[in-house]
Chains A and B, each alone.
Chain A
Amino acid sequence: MLVELGHYALVLAFALTLVVSVVPLWGALNGDGRLMAVATPVSVTVFFLVLVSFAVLTGAYVASDFSVVNVYENSHSAKPLLFKITGVWGNHEGSMLLWVLILVFFGALVGVFGGNLPDDLRATTLAVQGWISAGFLLFMLATSNPFNRYENPPIEGNDLNPILQDIGLAIHPPLLYVGYVGFSITFSFAVAALILGRTDAAWARWVRPWTLLAWSFLTLGIAMGSYWAYYELGWGGWWFWDPVENASFMPWLAGTALLHSAIVMEKREALKVWTVLLAIFTFSLSLLGAFLVRSGVLTSVHAFATDPSRGVFILGLLCLFIGGSLSLFAWRAPMLKQGGLFAPISREGGLVLNNLFLTAATAAVLVGTLYPLVLDAITGEMISVGEPFFYLTFGPLMVPLLMAVPFGPILAWKRGDLLAASQRLYAAFGLALLMTLFTFWLWGMERVLAPLGVGLAVWVMAGAISEIVTRVKFFEIGPKRGFARLYGLPGSAWGTATAHFGIGVTVLGIVTSSAFQEEQVRTMRPGDTVNVSGYELTFDGSVPRRGPNFVEEVGHFTVREGGAFVAEMEPSKRVYTARQMPTTEAAIHTIGFSQVYVSLGERRNDGAVDVRAYYKPLITLIWIGCVIMALGAAFSMADRRLRVGAPKPAAKRKQSASVPAE
C-alpha cells in the first residue's frame, strides 16, 4: 500500500510540474501577478511529493520488501543497513529518483529564496525548471518506474553489485548529482533571460552563487568518485578517461568556465551573451552525461544495465532541451545588451583566456568521448580512445592555462599592466624555478617533464599566495596592519586564492604520483619480501575470514623501512555469496601525503599469491586539492556582497506593491 502511495506521489508530482511549466510563464508574459505567484507554492509541493516518493522507496529497501522489483533486483536481506539505504541509488531507477529529487529541490530553493528576484524572472525560471522536471518525471514513469511490483514476491533479493557495497556509494552519487543537477538552475536562469529578453543586475547576481554551489559539489563528487575507484577497483589508478568519467568531467570544465565568465558579467556587465551560452552548454553536458550513462551506448564500469527504450527517450529529452535552448539562444540572444569594454590585457581579458582554454579542453574531451561512438555508428569500425589521446590534447591545453592562472587575479579590471603584475609574481616565479631545479637534482634528467610539472604546480600555488599578499599590501604597510587587512578581504578574494591554490595542489599530486610512483608485481610466498621505494613489504601468509555477506581470503603484510616496523597491511580477495562475485580489496597505508598500495591477484594452489605493490608519492594531494577548491567556492559563496540582494528598481517595487495581496 505504502509503495503505491510513493508511486502516486510521483504521478501527482508530474501533473503539478505540468502546471508549473505553463501557468507562471503565461503570467510572466502577460504581466499577471496571480499566475506568476503559482510558481513558488507548486514548486515546493512538487519537491515534497518527490521526497515522499523517495522516502517510500528507501523504506521498501530498509524493510527488504522484495515484492518491489527494484528492491528484489538490487538488495538482499543480509546486507548491512547502510548499504540497504545507499542501494536505493545504486541502480538506474533509484538513482534517477534521486536525480529528480535534487532537480525539484533546486526548483523549490529558487522559489523560497528568490524573494528578491524580479517576479517575472522568478516565475519564468521556475517554469523552465518545471519543463526539465516534467521531462524527467515522465521518463521515470514511462520507462524506469522504481515502484513496479511482483505478483508473487520472491523470498530473497539479488543483492547489490559488491563493488557498490561501499561507503563511497553513500557519498559519491549524491554529491555528483547535486553538482550535475545544480547546473539546471543556471540553465533555467539563462533560458528565462532569453525568454524575457533581458539580463538585469539581479540576474547577474543570482547566476554566480548557484554556479558556485553546483560546481563545488561537482568538484567533491568527482574527487570522491576518483578516490573510490582508486581504492575499490584495486588497479591503483584514480582516473581512467573512461567515457562515464568524462561525462562528469565535461560539465565540470564547462562549469569552471561559467564560474569565471559569471564574474565578468557580474562585475563588468560584459560577456552576457557568452555567459548565457555557457550556462546552456554546461547543463547540456550534464544531460549528455545522463544519456551516456543510462542509454546503453557505452559499456563502462559505471554504466547501468540498459534497455533501449530508455536510450531513445533520453535522447529525445536531450534533443528537446539542448536543441530548444540553442534555438532560443539563436533567436533571442541578439536582444541582450552588451556592456563593458575592456583591453586584452586586463582581468576580463584573463578571464576570457580562461574561458577559451577551458572550452577548448571541454571540446577535446567531448571529441575523445564521442568519436568512438560516432565512428561505430557510421562505419561499424571499433576503436578505443584512451589515455594517450587525452594526454596529447587535454594536457597541452591545460599548461598555458595554468601558467596564466596567477596573473589573472592580479591584473586590474578594464586595463591591466602585465609588467607590474609580473613584478608582483617574481617571488612565486623564483620559488617555482627553485622547486623545478630541486626536483631535477633529486631525480636526475631521466624525466624531463615531471620537474617542469612540479614547477608549474608550485607556480600556481605560490601565485595564489602572492595574490593575497599583494591584496593586503603586506610588504608596503608592514605585517601588523597587513594581518589586520587580511580580515577585511572580501570572501570572493579568499575564494579565488583558495581555489587557485587548490588546483596547484591537485596538479602537484598528479605530477608526482604519476611520474615518481614505483610499482612492483610479484608472485609471493609466505616469508617473501618485496621492496618499493625503500619500503620492505613482507608477506606473512593469508587467512580466510567471513563477513556479513561475503567470505574473504586476507593476505597479511608487514611494512618495514630500513628494518624498522612501519605498518601492517591486509589486502584481501572477497567473494560475495549472493552473486558469487569476486572482488579485490586493496590495502592502503598513508605516510604523510604519500601512500603504499597493495592489492592481491589470484592465489595459487601452493599458497603463492600474485601481489601488486605501489608507492605513490604525494598522491593524496590530488583529492586534498579538490577539497581545497570546493572550500574556495564556499568562501566565495559566503561573500557578503552576494547575500545582499540587488535593490529592486523603484518602479518595479511600486508595480509589485500595487498587485493586490492574495
Chain B
Amino acid sequence: MTRKQRRLTLIGSAGAVLALALGLILFALNDQIVFFQSPSDIASQQIPDGQRIRLGGLVEDGSVERSDDAHVKFRVTDTAHSVAVTYQGILPDLFREGQGVVTEGVLTPDGIFVADSVLAKHDENYMPKEVAEALKGQGHWQGGEGAAN
C-alpha cells in the first residue's frame, strides 16, 4: 500500500464512522425527542395519538386519588386549563398538591394523560424550569423576581 492509499483508507473509515454517527444523531433527534407541553397547549392544539410528550404544571389541590397497586390519579394544571393524569408507581418524595411537577407519557384519545414517569425535583424550593415558563405564560408565576404580574 502506498502512503496515499493508507491515508485514503484512514480518511475513508473516519468519514464512514462520522457519517454513521451523524445519521444516528439526526434520526434520533427527529424521532426520539420529547416536547414539553402545558395543559393550555394541550387544550389549544391537537396532539397526534401515541406521541410522547412531557406535561408539566402544578398538581391541582384536592385532585390526588390513590387506589390499590400503587395507582394514582391527579390533575396537572397551569391555572387556566388542567389535564387528568394516571400513573402507576411510586411518586417522588417531593410530589405534593400545589407543587410543580413534570410527567412524561402519552395522551389517550379520551383526554387522559397516561404517565410512565413523574418528576418532582430534590429541592423544596425548586420549580421545574418548564413549569415556571408555562405558568409565566398564564401570568400566575410569582417566583423569582415576582415580575410576571
Chain A residues with a Cβ under 8 A of chain B: 161, 163, 234, 299, 301, 305, 341-344, 352-353, 356-357, 360-361, 363-364, 367-368, 371-372, 381-386, 388-389, 392-393, 396-397, 521-523, 573, 579-584, 599-602, 604, 610-612
Contacts and interface: CB of A to CB of B under 8 A. Distances in A.
Interface of B: 1, 3, 6, 9-10, 13-14, 17-18, 20-21, 24-25, 27-29, 31-36, 54, 66-70, 88-91, 93-94, 104, 121-124, 126, 128-130, 133
List of 5 A-B pairs having minimum Cβ-Cβ separation, nearest first: A601-B90, A360-B21, A382-B36, A388-B32, A610-B70
B10 A344 contact: yes
Given A343-B1, A343-B6, A383-B35, A579 B24 contact: no
Contacts of A364: 21, 24-25
A521 B89 contact: yes
Contact of A610 (B24, B32, B90): B90
Contacts of B122: 161, 163, 301
B130 A382 contact: yes
B32 A389 contact: yes
Given A356-B14, A393-B28, A582-B94, A384 B21 contact: no
B121 A383 contact: no
Given A523-B70, A612-B90, A392 B28 contact: yes
Contacts of A388: 28, 32
Contacts of A163: 122
A610 B68 CA distance: 9
16 contacts: A161-B122, A234-B93, A341-B6, A356-B14, A357-B17, A360-B18, A361-B21, A363-B25, A364-B24, A371-B29, A384-B34, A384-B104, A386-B104, A389-B28, A392-B28, A601-B70
Contact of B35 (A161, A367, A381): A381
Contacts of B67: 523
Given A385-B34, A389-B28, A397-B24, 19 more contacts: A299-B129, A341-B3, A344-B6, A344-B10, A352-B13, A356-B14, A364-B21, A367-B25, A368-B25, A383-B33, A384-B33, A384-B36, A386-B34, A389-B33, A393-B24, A393-B25, A396-B24, A521-B70, A580-B124
B15 to A, nearest CB: 10
Contacts of A521: 69-70, 88-90
Contacts of A384: 33-34, 36, 54, 104
A371 B89 CA distance: 30
Contacts of A601: 70, 89-91
Nearest to A394: B24
Contact of A397 (B13, B21, B128): B21
A382 B121 contact: no
Contacts of A344: 1, 6, 9-10, 13
Contact of A385 (B32, B90, B93, B123): B32
B121 A301 contact: yes
Nearest to B123: A161
Contact of A581 (B21, B69, B124): B124
A599 B70 CA distance: 13
Nearest to B95: A602
A371 B25 CA distance: 11
Nearest to A343: B1
A523 B68 contact: yes
A604 B18 contact: no
A148 B17 CA distance: 51
A356 to B, nearest CB: 4
A602 B66 CA distance: 10
Contacts of A381: 35
B121 to A, nearest CB: 7
A382 B24 CA distance: 22
Contacts of A356: 13-14, 17-18
B47 to A, nearest CB: 14
B11 to A, nearest CB: 11
Contact of A582 (B3, B70, B93, B133): B93
Contacts of A610: 66, 70, 90-91
B89 A389 contact: no
Given A341-B3, A383-B35, A392-B27, A579 B68 contact: no
Nearest to B102: A384
B106 to A, nearest CB: 14
Contacts of A361: 21
A649 B130 CA distance: 62
